[in-house]
Amino acid sequence: MHHRHAQRYVLRQFGLRSLLKFGFALGIAAGFVPSLITTLAVAALVSFLKRFLEHLMEVSQPLPLLNQRITFDFVQLLHLSGAYESLVFVDNNLGLFALALFLLLSCVVAISFGIASITGAIVYNVLAKTTGGLEFELEEGRTSASKE
């Protein structure tokens, strides 16, 4: 007959530094795909808006009575020249802006996870001082070799 030995442990507090590092690492891992998707979506939106405003620069309408066409520049009429120039600048430097946006979003997610981890640890540590912490029991498990 094989006796199992169980040991009781109490989690009194979390180490803040290790949990902060873990939170940052988890944030980077969790934020990678959403940051990448958001960056690609913003890059596509910038290019789309630039092309859309370019189409609004020369909208022409035929005037059959005068046998002529009248052309409107809706970017000028709607005072969108500044927005258009900004979109052209960003679109011309899209690789750099996409990289900067990706890094910024990744950092925001990592910092958010780090702050959430630290906040949770501080709350737990304060509660653990008054309640004694979480108690749990561990026992030795069987490996596949010991089952035979």
- Residue extents of the structural domains in the chain: 6-139
CB 83 within 8 A of CB 124: no
Res 137: pLDDT: 86
Q: How distant, in Å, are the alpha carbons of 3, 38, 55, 85, 91 from that of 51? A: 75, 20, 6, 12, 10
pTM of the model: 0.72
Specify the amino acid at residue 43: A
Q: How far apart are the C-alpha atoms of 61 and 34, rounded to whole Å?
A: 44
Res 146: pLDDT: 54
Q: The tokens of 16 are what?
A: 């803040």
Q: How far apart are the C-alpha atoms of 7 and 85, rounded to whole Å?
A: 69
Res 140: pLDDT: 78
Specify the amino acid at residue 83: A
pLDDT along the chain (148 residues), means of 10: 73 90 94 96 96 87 78 87 94 96 96 94 92 85 62
